[in-house]
Structure 1
Amino acid sequence: GELVASMALMFPEFFGGEGGITTDRVYGKPFFGITFGPAIEVYYLIAVYCFVCTAAMFAFTGTPLGRILNAVRDNPERVEFIGYNTQRVRYFAFIIAGFFAGIGGGLAAINFEIVTGADSVNVLRSGGYLLFTFLGGATFFFGPIIGAVLLVFASVLLSELSKAWLLYLGLVFLFMVMYAPGGIASLIMMNLRLAKFGKLRGLWPSYLALGGTALVAVLGAAAMVEMTYHLQLNAALGPDLNFLGATLQANSVGSWFGAGFVLLTGLGLFELCRRQFVQQWGAIQEEIEHEIKRGEAL
């Protein structure tokens, strides 16, 4: 990827240099009266391709090659022991991934009518795809879809609300790596398992308590982050900062003390709820294992 990004600037005759390559999606004769000029026509074109490609990828996961790809991902050494060439299997996966990525790139060219090397093949674009794949859950088919939707909403909404949205996104990624490496999809699957055995309803009060206390801690931390960014970037506009309808003074000790107090209070309450939740979760898991063993015995 870095080689392609460098080539985009080294060969401006082919890649268009820093200005990129522009196109005109309404060029040529209409297709059954469709010119792809209006944005709604492009939207439906992309939506159809998206659903068709998603269905094709899901069907591919059920093929022998798709199943062996999962095996190579989970345990490549064992796959080699049963006689498969893991390098060749990964090469096939790379080709198939490139095929679907090419479709996405073609649709992006139709949508934006421009392709620039600095934006399309840079490390930030590649890192963004890896980020939402990991956040959603790389071991589940619907995981990257969830991650992509959440990342788009986060980039659109958070970027309008705060200049520190990349910091918040990085912190979310950090906590997911530490406490939920399976991604959001793994959390959903664990709760679906609880719902299957009728144990999910008893955890709702604990979930609400964890969410409420975590929200308090996040508000305190966000207030401190916003005041820090205000002092660094908007000091010329004065010390007053509008934060969720409240006015904070970035240079006031009282505002910092209040934000820190909210943060510590939220963390303390969250820890108490977390300990109770861990005990409840362990008891429920034991009950589920007992039901499974009893069903196997019967």
Structure 2
Amino acid sequence: MSTAVVEKTAAASSPTAVALHYLRRYWALGLASAVVLVALSWAVLPGVFTAYDPLAVNQAQRLLPPSGEHWFGTDLLGRDLYSRVVYGARASLAGAFLAVAVAVVVGSALGALAGWFGGVVDHVVMRAVDVVLSIPSFLLAISVVVLYSAKTGTSGLVPAAIAVGLTASAKFARLIRSEVLKVRASNYVEAAVTSGSSTSAILRRHVIPNALGPTISLAAVEVGLAIIWIASLSFLGLGAQPPDPEWGLLVADGRKYIATRDWLTVYPALTIVAVVLSVNYLARHLRKRNEL
């Protein structure tokens, strides 16, 4: 083998070459990962990315266009919009994660009960799930939040997230039920039942671990939807409340000036779109890997 061929083969197998080849092949995956990582960093350490206080009012700098000093411009009260978008990531992502957590816990519990016990329990739970799935999810979330607000006289991000989670739990209930039915018919579960293992032990040791893969894939997809729903509820005044920064609330605040000062709406809206598309892309990639 010639020296040139050896050098070419060595260069092609070097870590740098392998990394560059991977990035060229999976550039979309890298971009989506970067966007999600930035959004998570905003939520965890917002002060690292901006020096402005998102709640600080400065009437002398109200409605300034984007510039080197204020990257996203300023709002009606002179607050730096970029800092509000950065700090708003915490509320938006925390609300989405809380919603998905509620959906996973409630849906998994209902699905496990229906799949394991069967009979009347299965019939009642699945008919309730069918009813929930027959109603438009966002409309149901709005109804839950409105009923809660009417009863308590308060509204906020946490009730909105719980409402979104409860409406999404039906999907997890159906998924977990199907996984439980598969695992329940397996030989090792039958052996565990014959040996006298308790139901809770069988669910904990055999059923739940085998259902984790599909559940994680669905949960990743639901995070993107939850971000949209949380932002939409805040946009309607049913989620986060002023002056707290939240992406949907920022879009709502700027809609009155969209004809003349479009940056007030465009930048928060583009942030939502970028994060949701990135999360959905990563979720699809995760689902494909689980199917292999």
TM-score in terms of structure 2 length: 0.31
Structure with the largest fraction of strand: 1
Q: Which has the higher contact order (CA 8 A, sep 6+)?
A: 2
TM-score in terms of structure 1 length: 0.30
